[in-house]
Structure 1
Amino acid sequence: MLDQLAQKEADGWRFCNSPTSSVLAGDRNTLMCRLRNAGLPVPKWQRLPDWADVIRIGTERSVVVKAADGTVGRGTQVVIAIRNTLPKAAPFSGPYLVEEYIENDGLDRKLYVAGSRCFGLIKPWPRNPDVPAQSFDALPELVGLAMAVGVETGLEIFGVDVLLGAQGPKIVDVNVFPGFRGIDEAHSAVVHHLLERLELG
């Protein structure tokens, strides 16, 4: 499928996010390597094939475990284990991306990008469905991080999740074409970007 889409792109088809960029964002291990090598702040992590290996790491320190395949069940296939609290049975299939747990201020800063526009949304972390998200004006440092992710991945419409820890912001996830829920101006920004892309050819 990717080869077919890449050929269509070469033939002149237009995509708001190229197939290659979308596949890159879905491969969490490759994505994190790309961001780290570009000098962007990401947590320490390792890719593990089996849940038994994850348990071994999780008994030593607090971790966040994600499916290495970020295209399946995004937002649901994530386990936060503080001080050896991982379940004994695997909650989803591997391979797994095991990240260091970032001590933070309890807020997930979601940066939504549509072309040259960047919007901010704050949610509690770990997630709490009873606490509503709130929009915020992202500081230039965070906007710069989000735009740098776009440069490194080739994505044009995407989301970046950032946690603020003791050593500053850390990029913990990238989402291809997020829902932009809670951002009132998002729909017009997305439309504007797509029309601009059409005009530029």
Structure 2
Amino acid sequence: MNRVVVLTDSRYLGQRMPGALLDALRARDVPAVQARADRLVAEVRAEGIAAPEPIRERRRAPPALRPGDLVVPRTRNAFALSLLLQAELRGVRTVNRWEAVQAVRDKPYAVLRLARAGVPTPRTFLADRPESLAGLPATAWPLLLKPPYGDNGQGIVRVDSPRELERLHWPEGMVLAQQYVDVAGVDVKLYGAGQQVWAVRRPSPLRAPEKPGQADEPVRLPVTRELGELARACRDVFGLELYGVDVLPSPDGPLVVDVNDFPNYTGIAEAPGAVADLVAARLTEVVSP
């Protein structure tokens, strides 16, 4: 029987997704299993990847996929993503596709794609290193410096002037810099699953909580025509089916600052069911003659 294989790693085991998706699929009697990529070993062969013989006995092998299976990745693990690519090379369908996941993980590439598509973003610069930004005009500052493979706001640094670049420790080499937009510590998160779009207002991930462990709950927002079009434009740029978009509600209109694959859908109660419906429909497409 064909299955949904949810590919993840230990980082996500305590989060809402992908566990809620697995529960929703099983409630619909859709065969679904979870595959953790941590500490697995795979051997590369002409016919694909497989576990070496001793590894099979310890059950540390990648999942044995069949052509009718459907793989759903929620992972940033490099090895897991290699398994995702291998699944596609063997003809297994995936949601999202490897190319789409890689595109949004590579932040400089992503901003170039967004700019080409005309998606509004803050003023953005790419440089080989932070010091190269020192000659930017005064109107460009402050800047938010972002690592090329940033994740959930990690590694982002605000720099208010060229002088601050002199004492900045930056281990990443290349830098993506965006003009800082003051939104009073609140931004908008758009979530998408296929044609459906949801919106929440939430504290900015860059804002430190007032108390340790404090986290404000997101507040549902109506999806205006403008927000819906913005979400679907980002979806189409990268070919994503499950996605999130970080938006700054600036005085000049919404600005996209990040796009990510298979988000947590925090604050959207109906999202696990909607994602499960999309995945179940795609599984049916896989096994249809």
Q: 1 CA distance for matches of 2:92 and 2:132? A: 43
- CA distance in 2 between partners of 1:96 and 1:200 (Å): 41
3-state DSSP of counterpart to 1:173: strand
Deviation digits for residues 31-85 of structure 1, max 9, x if unmatched? 1111111111122212222232245559761111111113xx4321112334668
Residue 195, structure 1, aligned to residue 280, structure 2: yes
| 1:188 Cα offset (Å) | 1.0
Distance change >3 Å, CA 85–CA 195, structure 1 → 2: farther
Please give the TM-score of this superposition, normalised by the length of structure 2.
0.61
Name the structure 2 match of 1:124: 203
Are 2:148 and 1:68 equivalent residues in the alignment? yes
- The answer to whether structure 1 residue 138 and structure 2 residue 217 are counterparts is no
Q: 1:79 to 1:57 in 2, by over 3 A?
A: farther
Q: 1:77 to 1:57 in 2, by over 3 A?
A: farther
Please provide the CA RMSD for this pair: 2.6
Question: For the residues of structure 1 that align with 2:152 and 2:247, how far apart are their CA atoms?
Answer: 16
- Give 1:9's aligned residue: 88
1:81 aligns with 2:166: no
Q: CA deviation at 1:131?
A: 5.5
User: What runs of 5+ residues in structure 2 fail to find an aligned partner?
Assistant: 1-78
Q: Rate the CA distance shift 1:64–1:85 in 2: closer, same or farther, 3 A.
A: farther
TM superposition shift of 1:167: 2.0
Corresponding residue for residue 159 of structure 1: 244
CA-CA distance at 1:153 after TM superposition: 0.2
Question: May I ask how many residue pairs the two structures share in their alignment?
Answer: 199
1:122 and 1:158 map into 2 onto residues whose CA distance is 17
Q: How far 1:11 sits from its partner (Å)?
A: 3.2
Tell me, which stretches of 5 or more residues in structure 1 are unaligned?
Answer: none
Question: In the TM superposition, what is the alpha-carbon distance from 1:97 to its structure 2 partner?
Answer: 0.3
Match of 2:97 among 6, 18, 34: 18
What is the alpha-carbon distance in structure 1 between the residues aligned to residue 226 and residue 253 of structure 2? 10
Q: Secondary structure at the match of 1:119?
A: strand
Structure 1 distance, partners of 2:130, 2:119, is 28
**Structure 1 residue 179 and structure 2 residue 264: aligned?**
yes
Cross-structure match for 2:34: none
Q: Distance in 2 between matches of 1:62 and 1:16?
A: 38
Residue aligned with 1:181, SS: coil
The farther-off stretch of 100-109 and 174-183 is: 100-109
Residue of structure 2 equivalent to 1:90: 169
Q: Distance in 2 between matches of 1:158 and 1:63?
A: 26
TM-score (norm 1): 0.85
